[in-house]
Structure 1
Amino acid sequence: VGGDYYDVLQNGSRIKIGIGDVTGHGLESGVLMLMVQSVARALQETNEGNPHQFLDRLNRAIYKNIERTNTGKHLSLAFLDFEDERVTLSGQHEDVLVMRAGGEVERIDTLDLGLPVGLENDISQFIDTRDIAFGSGDVIVLHTDGVTEAEDEDKRLFGFERLCQSVQRRHGSSAEDIKTGIIDDLMAHIGIQKIHDDITLVIIRHT
């Protein structure tokens, strides 16, 4: 049962993309992922447009559910709010990769943008946002650690640098072709090894 979360939330002209990873594996992780999906969709319907408030309210709801069910789970979780040629990033998850239209790659750390969701009732003081320019031809790559921590036969990780190189090799390609290319590179790296974690990859390309 998967514990990775991603969703595309749309309400009118507002688009929010979420990605996260629940600790551990199994049924409890999958159930928590579904809780997050349900709460996030409900909040989007309330027209909560403030990224800070959105994540704070979601965390409080998830924390109460975790406390009630006594699962001891939590998750990394980040959201991207899209508006015109700008993206607002909030929450703590894996680093975000941005490839500019010219082929340059930027690595955006999310460590200071939040805390794991469900770990504490009130994480509001730790939530922060970062604005990212997102113009024509730019590409944003979101992933869970199942991508970067995938191992080859010698226990070498695929890693963020290989991910960057894989994206750069597809500079100018469509989002679908970039995704397919990364998966091909990842599977070639893993080889005959067993895949031990969920793999989630989201590619967003500005037309």
Structure 2
Amino acid sequence: MTVHKPTSGSVVLSWLPVAAMAVVAAADVVAGPGVGFLPLVSLGPAFSGLVGGWRRTALIGAVALLVCVGLGLYDGLFEERRGFTAMASVAGVTAAGIAAAVMRLRREAELASVRSIAEVAQRVLLRPVPRTAGPLQAAVSYTSAVAEARIGGDLYEVVASPHGIRAIVGDVQGKGLAAVETAAVVLGAFREAAHDEPDLVRLGERLERSVARELEGEKFVTAVLAEFGSEYEAVFLNYGHPAPLVVRESGSVDFPQPQSFALPLGLGAHGSEGPRPYRVVFAPGDQLLLYTDGVTEARDPGGSFYPLGDRAGLLKEPDADRALEALREDLVRHAAGPLHDDAAMLLLRYHDHAG
């Protein structure tokens, strides 16, 4: 179980109602009866209703009433209506604070429920990739652009099919539930077609038809498909997606590009020719990183893009998960704050089991 320690900011807010009442009481005592600070005691339950629970707000309100009575007696205000008016003000603000606290806690509970459902949906949609598939070892990383977010439009999958090991990494245009629904369509179609279609091009055409049926207007999905067969090579289909990163056993780095660029999935109806497969040597000891543009388009405070090729040395770590985590942490440090776009990375390593 994870224990969340209160932050310094939350501690300050929790003590703010008490501090407000203490300041008002001290100012009233110092200034004397003629100034009229007494109604400001209601600041205590007012602040408590904004940051605390309803029980704490009721307690702060009770304390505020006691302070109000004490100061009213000290100032001699109960000889006239001012003391009773101040008490009515404190009681009214306390009641309003309790109501505000109850409504806020209900909204927070509803938000927590929605986030929990979204997290479950994310696990179903982006299920863990197999750690090993044939001679390949896989690791995946997903960094949301918003710290609280649990779900987004980036997608990835690895399938060990009768026709070879097949992988996809994609990025759905847009955000929110619409992007999630589209990602679910793409992943569902890929998981099924990866087993059924013997040819990678036909697999891509099937994805195109599935996406075209679901999307409207100019919406699209960029994606790169990869296939690994019995030969020491990888075959790619690129639908307007960033080029894969290949890190050789020697440490050299390459971003293999297609001979011609194709439109993203969902825009095939515009009459353009689909992507052509291209082959890249992928031998034991080599690494392949498929990623979304949230990685390469992450900027530092000076506006410079993340230099992925220069950071490939971070993938030397023997453990694939730790290597990818080191790259992710370096990406976050480069951005020096929350990313402006989701960033998904799929690392595939070729291990020669015979060696």
Alignment TM-score > 0.5, same fold? yes
Equivalent residue number for residue 60 of structure 2:
none
TM-score (norm 2): 0.52
Q: Which among 13, 19, 22 is matched to residue 172 of structure 2? A: 22
Equivalent residue number for residue 237 of structure 2:
90
Amino acid at match of 1:167: A
2:332 partner SS: helix
Equivalent residue number for residue 199 of structure 2:
50
Q: Which among 153, 157, 165 is matched to residue 7 of structure 1? A: 157
User: In structure 2, how many angstroms separate the alpha carbons of the residues matched to 1:2 and 1:151?
Assistant: 20
Equivalent residue number for residue 173 of structure 1:
318
1:87 partner SS: strand
Equivalent residue number for residue 266 of structure 2:
118
Amino acid at match of 1:204: L
Amino acid at match of 2:221: L
Structure 1 contact 59–121 (Cα < 8 Å) conserved: no
Once the two structures are superposed, the pairs formed by residues 104-183 of structure 1 within 5 Å of their partners are 104-110=252-258, 112=260, 114-121=262-269, 125-158=273-306, 162-171=307-316, 173-183=318-328
2:249 partner SS: coil
User: In structure 2, how many angstroms separate the alpha carbons of the residues matched to 1:30 and 1:123?
Assistant: 27
- Mean alpha-carbon deviation: is it higher for 56-65 or for 94-103? 56-65
1:88 partner SS: strand
Amino acid at match of 2:281: A
Asked if 1:199 corresponds to 2:199, the answer is no
Structure 1, unpaired ranges of 5+: none
Compare the two structures and name the one with the higher helix fraction: 2
Asked if 1:33 corresponds to 2:193, the answer is no
Structure 1 contact 150–157 (Cα < 8 Å) conserved: yes
Q: Residues 124 and 9 of structure 1: is their aligned pair in 2 closer, same or farther, counting only changes over 3 Å?
A: farther
User: In structure 2, how many angstroms separate the alpha carbons of the residues matched to 1:99 and 1:23?
Assistant: 28
User: In structure 2, how many angstroms separate the alpha carbons of the residues matched to 1:60 and 1:94?
Assistant: 22
Q: Deviations along 1:122-147, whole A, 9 cap, x unmatched?
A: 76833201111111110001110111
1:204 partner SS: strand
User: In structure 2, how many angstroms separate the alpha carbons of the residues matched to 1:200 and 1:137?
Assistant: 23
Amino acid at match of 1:100: R
Offset of 1:13 from its aligned partner? 6.3
User: In structure 2, how many angstroms separate the alpha carbons of the residues matched to 1:157 and 1:21?
Assistant: 18
- Mean alpha-carbon deviation: is it higher for 174-183 or for 88-97? 174-183
Q: Residues 151 and 33 of structure 1: is their aligned pair in 2 closer, same or farther, counting only changes over 3 Å?
A: same
- Mean alpha-carbon deviation: is it higher for 90-99 or for 4-13? 4-13
Structure 1 contact 175–203 (Cα < 8 Å) conserved: yes
Structure 2, unpaired ranges of 5+: 1-150
Query: Identity over aligned residues, as a percent?
Result: 26
Compare the two structures and name the one with the higher strand fraction: 1
Root-mean-square deviation (CA, aligned residues, Å) is 2.0
Equivalent residue number for residue 43 of structure 2:
none
Q: Deviations along 1:148-201, whole A, 9 cap, x unmatched?
A: 11122233221xxx211221244363322321221121121122x222211101
User: In structure 2, how many angstroms separate the alpha carbons of the residues matched to 1:77 and 1:184?
Assistant: 24
1:126 partner SS: coil
Offset of 1:120 from its aligned partner? 2.5
Amino acid at match of 1:80: A
Structure 2 contact 314–327 (Cα < 8 Å) conserved: no
Offset of 1:118 from its aligned partner? 0.5
